[in-house]
Every structure is written in structure tokens, then in C-alpha cells.
Amino acid sequence: MLRRLLICLGLTTAVAVSAHAAEPLSIPPIAYQQRSLANGLQVISIEDHTSPTVAVQVWYHVGSKDDPAGRSGFAHLFEHLMFKSTKHLKAEQFDRLTEDVGGHNNASTNDDFTNYYEAVPSNHLQRLLWAEAERMVNLTVNEDNFKSERAVVEEELRQRVLASPYGRLFNAVPKDAYLVHPYKRPGIGSIEDLEAASLSDVIAFHSTYYRPDYATLIVSGDFDRAELDRWVDTYFGPLPKPAAPVPHVTAVEPAWDKDRRYSEHGPNVPLPGIVLAWLAPAARNADDVALSVAAALLSNGDSSRLHQALVYRQQIAQRVNFSSDTQADNGLISTFAIMASGHKPEEAEAAIIAEVKALATAPIAPAELDKIKTKIITQALAQRQTAEGKAFAIGEAVLLKGDAATVNSDLAALQAVSADDVQRVLKKYVLDAHHVTIDYTLGLDKPGDAKPAKGATK
């Protein structure tokens, strides 16, 4: 519920940031202003006086991929600790500054970033800016805070992975799929690694990654521009830019040179499941938008191809999804199905591959392409109804694509996606590439125990 881990795996539809207006429908671009402070902090603001509220978000360019060695889950655990004490704030005082005055707050940890976000009545904007600057530099977590919050994160792990019937499957996907990239490690971590973490890890992580030149501040909603600029300069301007460079993940996931197959199990699997995954390009790759259209044609909406084929016509799957989760470095194009009772994972595998082949090779009707563009645009419009929704759209553009402008330019790109583009990217990244297959059935293996199934690799 709160302070949740963003698990970037298929369960959500692949609409994300790209959005756009086909002919009859047009979304106005998000009108934002951007500037940088001398210490490197990027500041993006979107003025919107519709409601007397304002969203404040700080997106740090550090995520689960930066978990220290032997400390899987650390970036996420750290995110929780940012709500504990700082030099001038008591533990949970962020809740006093938000919930107690009619606002809300939360944070999430992704592979590539960690974002802290609040929305409050706009007369509280100044205090929040002060408080965000404060926790960027003055975190003072103590041993008690640390241990109790670590226990919370362990419960979060139990809830997401161990008590949820498909939690073990989704937790295993990056581990099985990636060969070398640290995206491999599950962002929620393991109980063992969480237990191994210490307060000194917290201090080191904060001073390494939490700094103005590694953060993007986004303010969206009801503010006065001159006031906002003054407050940002006052509170964030004096924060030091450390001399030491920020360490970056340099591992490069190689192209996969063969198909691989894994079997995962859980003690409580009501219906078997399957995941197929291919390596995606980085989010900033020009093919990203075409891939998101391909994924939407396959599984966005009841009339999408996979839903019609597997759930409606063949009735072999209880649900099916296909998404292109591109990330800062690369990502996964993945599909999962939960089988209908009486059906086996391999039936879904064959049916999914057949549908992808059909989409990639047979003519695509213009009406189908128009339909999916309208659908994506309408969903984007719904997201952009609120100041907070616009801030999220900008944040993802900055953190995943490296450029706020893509929040608007992707609209044009979406409109321009042709049937040929869809087919080209499907061939390149899916049909002509190797993939990983993970089936999931009832069994008593411990989580994290997956072994390649016999004779399955080629």
C-alpha cells in the first residue's frame, strides 16, 4: 500500500510515458519549465492552478541496480529510512507535514531510480521544499529506527513474494533472465541480505548517492513561480555538490546467445503460470515507442490480440499480459500468462509465440493501429488530469529517457508509429532474438532456488 516497491514487471499495462493524439484527439503538451542550480540539482516545474494543491517530488537517480554487493534490497530499504529522523526532523515527521495537513506522501524504488513524492494543500509548499532539502543532506537514522524499518521491509517481502501466489514467479524473472546486469537482483532483496545490512551501510549509501547533482526536483500544481524559485534557491541552493564522482553501474548486459528455460515453484500455486522474456533496448532508444505500441496491440484492452486468442477464443489462460518495460540501461520485453484450470504453461507459450509471429508478419489493419493509439492517448489523458499525474509523467521521462522533453515528443512519435515500425521492432527484439522461458508450478522449492530444467537450453 504505502511506500511501495515499484516492481517493473508486466503486471501493469505498457502505456507509461508515451502518449499521443491521433487526428481527432489532441492532448496539449505538458507545459513545464526547467532549470539547474549551480550544485547540479535539476528543477522542473509545472504550473496548474486547477486545485489548491501542489505535488512535490524528488527523484534520485539511484535505484535497486545500485544495491551494494551482498545487499540486495538495500536501495529499497534505504528508501524507507528516508522517512526516519534527520538532524531537524523527527522520525515520521514527513507524515506530520503531509498527512496531518490534508496531504499524502509515498516513495518508490525502481531499478533505476528512487522517487519521493508528496501532494499537499498549496499553502504548505514552502515547508515541504525545506523538508526535502533537509533529508537530502541531514539524514540521521538510529539503530532502533533502522531495525524496526528493516522488519517492515521483511514483512513487505513476505507479503509481496511469499504470501502472494505469483510473488515467487515475478521475483524470479529478473534473476533468471539477466546474465550479468545488476537488474538481475530482485529489488525487494532477500531476508538474508536485508539482515546483513547495517547502519554504516545506510550512512555510506546516503553520502554516496543522495546529493543535489544526482536528483531531480519536480513541483507541479498551484504555486507562484517567483515564490517557488526563491524557495528552491533558499533551501536547495546552499546544498553542497560533493567532489567525489557518483559511482555508476557499468555492467552491460550482452545480447543473449541462446534460449534458456527455468522452472520455478511455490507451495501455493492455484493455477500454473509462465513468463517469456526478451532483452529490450534502453528506454531512450528510438524504438521504444514502437515497442510500446506493439505491446499494447498484444495486450492493452479486451480486444487486444493475446486476450482474444488465449483468454477468449482458446480459453487456455486466466489472464495474459505483454509489456515492453524499457529502462535506463535496457529492460525486458516480457509476457506472462496465468493458465486457466486444466491447462499447461507450454500451451500458452506456443499460443503467445504464434500471436507475436502473426502480428509481426501479417498485415495490420489501419483501424487496429488507430484503435490502440486512441486507447493509449485516452489513458495518458486520464493520468494527466492531476498535477501529481503530470509530475510522474515528467519524472519518468527524465529518469528513464534522460530528457523531460520526451514527455511531449513521444506524443508525436506515437502518432507516427506505422505498421511497418511495429513489425520491424517485433522482429528485431522478439522473433529474431533469444528469450528466457520460466514456468511456474506447485512445488516445494524455496524461493530463489530455480535451477535450469534439464535439456531445455539450446
Q: Which is nearer to other proteins, 59 or 210 (CB)?
A: 210
Specify the residue for cell string 528485431: 428
Q: Find, among 148, 265, 233, 268, the residue nearest to 199 by Cα.
A: 148
Q: Confirm or reject binding of residue 280 to other proteins (CB under 8 A).
A: no
Q: Confirm or reject binding of residue 127 to other proteins (CB under 8 A).
A: yes
Return the number of other C-beta atoms located less than 10 Å from residue 147's C-beta.
11
Specify the residue for cell string 517481502: 157
User: What residues between 233 and 262 interact with other proteins by CB under 8 A?
Assistant: 238-240, 242-244
Size of the site for other proteins (CB under 8 A): 96
Angle at 321 between CA 315 and CA 322, to 5 degrees: 125
- Answer yes or no: are the C-beta atoms of 374 and 430 closer than 8 Å: no
Minimum distance from residue 112 beta carbon to other proteins (Å): 23
Q: Confirm or reject binding of residue 418 to other proteins (CB under 8 A).
A: no
Q: Confirm or reject binding of residue 366 to other proteins (CB under 8 A).
A: no
Q: Which is nearer to other proteins, 29 or 270 (CB)?
A: 270
Q: Which of 147, 230, 248, 344 binds other proteins (CB under 8 A)?
A: 147
User: What residues between 326 and 345 interact with other proteins by CB under 8 A?
Assistant: 338, 340-341
Minimum distance from residue 240 beta carbon to other proteins (Å): 3
Q: Confirm or reject binding of residue 12 to other proteins (CB under 8 A).
A: no
Q: Name the residue type at position 297.
A: L
Q: Confirm or reject binding of residue 148 to other proteins (CB under 8 A).
A: yes
- Answer yes or no: are the C-beta atoms of 170 and 46 closer than 8 Å: no
User: What backbone torsions phi and psi does residue 344 show, to the nearest 5 degrees?
Assistant: -105, 150
Q: Find, among 447, 380, 375, the residue nearest to 165 by Cα.
A: 447
Q: Which of 50, 198, 361, 457 binds other proteins (CB under 8 A)?
A: 50
Residues with Cβ within 8 Å of 111's Cβ and at least 6 positions away in sequence, in order, are 8, 63, 64, 65, 183, 187, 327, 328
Q: Which is nearer to other proteins, 297 or 398 (CB)?
A: 297
Q: Find, among 393, 399, 454, 338, the residue nearest to 17 by Cα.
A: 393
Handedness of CA 219, 224, 225, 231 (dihedral sign): negative
Q: Which of 36, 123, 142, 457 binds other proteins (CB under 8 A)?
A: 123
Q: Confirm or reject binding of residue 372 to other proteins (CB under 8 A).
A: yes
Q: Confirm or reject binding of residue 302 to other proteins (CB under 8 A).
A: yes
Q: Which is nearer to other proteins, 132 or 439 (CB)?
A: 132
User: What residues between 198 and 237 interact with other proteins by CB under 8 A?
Assistant: 207, 222
Q: Confirm or reject binding of residue 422 to other proteins (CB under 8 A).
A: no
Q: Confirm or reject binding of residue 381 to other proteins (CB under 8 A).
A: yes
Question: Is 275 in a helix, a strand, or coil?
Answer: strand
Q: Confirm or reject binding of residue 68 to other proteins (CB under 8 A).
A: no
Q: Which is nearer to other proteins, 149 or 288 (CB)?
A: 149
Q: Which of 92, 192, 195, 233 binds other proteins (CB under 8 A)?
A: 92
End-to-end CA distance of the chain: 42
User: What residues between 434 and 453 interact with other proteins by CB under 8 A?
Assistant: 444
Longest CA–CA separation in the chain, Å? 66
